[in-house]
A and B are shown apart, each in its own frame.
Chain A
């Protein structure tokens, strides 16, 4: 009797799991399922949710208040008007906000490695990166995006941009490519945490630090820093390089004009590289279990 049942169940597994389905589709599906569980978990504490959404909005808005305070004393910052700085700020915040919403908790990977809970994800039939990315999915992070988009809207009203169809097209492309570039930094940082589990602060300096950097004009920073952000960790392609084309302002480094249209390509290359880094990190974890 028992044997028969076991055989029956074994048969049921024969067509299972469906093969040929792409890992990306599998990953997105798992992401959606887990993110929804986290949303419902947060809704268990509604009042707290409402307060953290407001807190997130207000906390990130303070960044812009700092810029406003500066402009109450001076008319220009590094040769940029308030509207132009707001343009950079809005783009950077919106792109970063999207990434922060989608995978803001991957920096907890080191913690998961330390306490061993990563193992519980590895026995599930879903890509680990999707599960880690969806971890602690929090709608309160919409606060940062909202705030970024509001500032961007303000900039579009006050700055006199000579619009062309190309420039209009560049706006959504910049935000999406920028989010993808930030995402690759998040994932590469998480991959590094497989090796160094206490490296989440290093990662934060590139992600949160990076977005703050991009909120200011490149002209206020030293040339070497601008070079590093352009050629080494290409955060400059989130907003600086393409946005200055839209604003008809010169980039501090001598770059050809077509570089302004590179963000989608830079994003694809960065994502591919961080994907490789992630796989290497996961492989190293599975061979060392550290």
Chain B
């Protein structure tokens, strides 16, 4: 095979045409699941983990990829990174077929698996970065520049000489994100980057991702269970369930389709009968605390103003709907319409 011409073809200007950095056309992934039905006997069953998914992501986009457990999110990410070979359809990342040219693609993508660290447990954090430097053959100046930037923005300066086993979960996640970015990937995949993190760590990770996307122009694709991640980061969200793409568009649209509701929790001065207010209904009362449901697409501010005008308000908080609730409402909507 003539690799030279191949390289020129894929890296040439033609591959930027149309600006679709990631492109999937009818991508499928079918697993053969073998189930034991007796001694030495088994039954074969086919499971469609990803069922004919098509979408495109432009360079510099930040996209949330959500869905319940087992929906096919991880399978999609694994196909995009070249870990798994699709059973059907066409898939391109930066003009490269991931499953065929896994190692070549590796230089251009960064991957963070939320629950599996790639850092060296017994060694100081900086040693893991030095390994990346050499394994990815990152030019020295570029490595120094990228490391400095990550250290500053992810607040890693004091952690560099600490063995990874002594880092907290939040610190380790920040460390993992830096490790995935030292080789200047054009796209960063994050699988549940905020899972298990405390509020402050979550905020730091989100702030960094926002900066990365805005300043560096890095394309970001993240899966999450936390709708707040999506709300604060992604203008575009894709919902996948049972291997099918259920929704692709802005988050606000998702709320409209799903008729999802947010919850306003108010603490009143004293126990009162359920609040009566326009466009919200009380779903629960517990002493002076009341829970009101209101459409997620609607702003909470006028609602709060109306309640504050009529009731002795002490404190309040707004709760976002969780993804499972949004998706189950989407189904209910589809069934009735």
Question: Do residues A289 and B78 form an inter-chain contact, with CB atoms below 8 A?
Answer: yes
Question: Do residues A2 and B217 form an inter-chain contact, with CB atoms below 8 A?
Answer: yes
Closest residue to A36 on the B side, CB-wise? B131
Chain A proximity of B221: nearest CB distance (Å) = 14
Question: Do residues A124 and B82 form an inter-chain contact, with CB atoms below 8 A?
Answer: no
Chain A proximity of B234: nearest CB distance (Å) = 17
Cα-based distance from A14 to B116 in the complex (angstroms):
31
Interface residue ranges of A96-146 to B (CB < 8 Å): 116-117, 119-120, 122-127
Question: Do residues A289 and B75 form an inter-chain contact, with CB atoms below 8 A?
Answer: yes
| A4-12, A153-161, A253-261, A266-274 - interface stretch | A4-12
| B106-114, B167-175, B256-264, B286-294 - interface stretch | B106-114
Closest residue to A10 on the B side, CB-wise? B186
Chain B proximity of A49: nearest CB distance (Å) = 12
Given A40-B127, A44-B163, A123-B82, the answer on whether A286 and B142 have CB atoms closer than 8 Å is no
Question: Do residues A116 and B31 form an inter-chain contact, with CB atoms below 8 A?
Answer: no
Question: Do residues B104 and A17 form an inter-chain contact, with CB atoms below 8 A?
Answer: yes
Asked if A33 is at the interface of the complex by the 8 Å CB criterion, the answer is yes
Asked if A162 is at the interface of the complex by the 8 Å CB criterion, the answer is no
Q: What 1/0 flags go to B83-127 for Cβ under 8 Å of A?
A: 111010000000000010011101111010100101011110001
B59, B142, B217: most-surrounded residue (chain A CB, <10 A):
B217
Question: Do residues B84 and A289 form an inter-chain contact, with CB atoms below 8 A?
Answer: yes
| Other-chain residue from B106, B107, B120, B216 in contact with A2 (beta carbon distance below 8 A) | B216
| Other-chain residue from B103, B116, B131, B217 in contact with A125 (beta carbon distance below 8 A) | B103
Question: Do residues B60 and A122 form an inter-chain contact, with CB atoms below 8 A?
Answer: no
Question: Do residues B83 and A6 form an inter-chain contact, with CB atoms below 8 A?
Answer: no
Asked if A73 is at the interface of the complex by the 8 Å CB criterion, the answer is no
Chain A proximity of B127: nearest CB distance (Å) = 7
Q: What 1/0 flags go to A192-225 for Cβ under 8 Å of B?
A: 0000000000000000000000000000000000
Chain A proximity of B96: nearest CB distance (Å) = 11
Asked if A288 is at the interface of the complex by the 8 Å CB criterion, the answer is yes
Given A3-B217, A286-B84, the answer on whether A17 and B32 have CB atoms closer than 8 Å is no
Asked if B43 is at the interface of the complex by the 8 Å CB criterion, the answer is no
Asked if B135 is at the interface of the complex by the 8 Å CB criterion, the answer is yes
Question: Do residues B120 and A125 form an inter-chain contact, with CB atoms below 8 A?
Answer: no
Question: Do residues B121 and A287 form an inter-chain contact, with CB atoms below 8 A?
Answer: no
Interface residue ranges of B18-53 to A (CB < 8 Å): 31-32
Which residues of B are found within 8 Å of A34, using beta-carbon distances?
131
Given A30-B135, A33-B135, the answer on whether A41 and B122 have CB atoms closer than 8 Å is yes
| Other-chain residue from A2, A12, A20, A44 in contact with B184 (beta carbon distance below 8 A) | A12
Asked if B218 is at the interface of the complex by the 8 Å CB criterion, the answer is yes
Question: Do residues B113 and A120 form an inter-chain contact, with CB atoms below 8 A?
Answer: yes
Which residues of B are found within 8 Å of A26, using beta-carbon distances?
103
Cα-based distance from A45 to B137 in the complex (angstroms):
30
Asked if B311 is at the interface of the complex by the 8 Å CB criterion, the answer is no
Q: Chain A interface: which size bin?
A: 35 or more
Question: Do residues B11 and A13 form an inter-chain contact, with CB atoms below 8 A?
Answer: yes
Cα-based distance from A5 to B217 in the complex (angstroms):
7
Asked if A16 is at the interface of the complex by the 8 Å CB criterion, the answer is yes
| Other-chain residue from A18, A119, A123 in contact with B109 (beta carbon distance below 8 A) | A123
| Other-chain residue from A17, A123, A126 in contact with B111 (beta carbon distance below 8 A) | A123
Cα-based distance from A112 to B305 in the complex (angstroms):
56
Given A3-B217, A17-B137, the answer on whether A122 and B107 have CB atoms closer than 8 Å is no
Q: What 1/0 flags go to A11-38 for Cβ under 8 Å of B?
A: 0111011111000001000100110010
Question: Do residues A41 and B84 form an inter-chain contact, with CB atoms below 8 A?
Answer: no
Cα-based distance from A166 to B84 in the complex (angstroms):
50
Cα-based distance from A289 to B81 in the complex (angstroms):
13
| Other-chain residue from A6, A17, A120 in contact with B217 (beta carbon distance below 8 A) | A6
Cα-based distance from A34 to B127 in the complex (angstroms):
11
Question: Do residues A44 and B136 form an inter-chain contact, with CB atoms below 8 A?
Answer: no
Question: Do residues A12 and B142 form an inter-chain contact, with CB atoms below 8 A?
Answer: yes
Question: Do residues A44 and B122 form an inter-chain contact, with CB atoms below 8 A?
Answer: yes
Question: Do residues B186 and A9 form an inter-chain contact, with CB atoms below 8 A?
Answer: yes
Question: Do residues A41 and B3 form an inter-chain contact, with CB atoms below 8 A?
Answer: no
Which residues of A are found within 8 Å of B87, using beta-carbon distances?
287
Question: Do residues B186 and A6 form an inter-chain contact, with CB atoms below 8 A?
Answer: yes
| Other-chain residue from A119, A120, A127 in contact with B103 (beta carbon distance below 8 A) | A127
Asked if B328 is at the interface of the complex by the 8 Å CB criterion, the answer is no
Chain A proximity of B42: nearest CB distance (Å) = 13
| Other-chain residue from B108, B123, B184, B186 in contact with A41 (beta carbon distance below 8 A) | B123
Cα-based distance from A41 to B127 in the complex (angstroms):
10
Q: Add 15 more A-B contacts to A14-B11, A34-B131 (CB < 8 A).
A: A2-B214, A5-B217, A6-B60, A6-B217, A9-B186, A12-B142, A19-B6, A41-B121, A119-B83, A120-B111, A120-B116, A123-B109, A125-B107, A289-B78, A289-B84
8 contacts between A and B (CB under 8 A): A3-B60, A9-B216, A17-B103, A18-B137, A33-B131, A33-B135, A119-B83, A287-B85
Of all A-B residue pairs in the complex, the 3 with the closest CB atoms, nearest first, are A6-B217, A125-B106, A2-B217
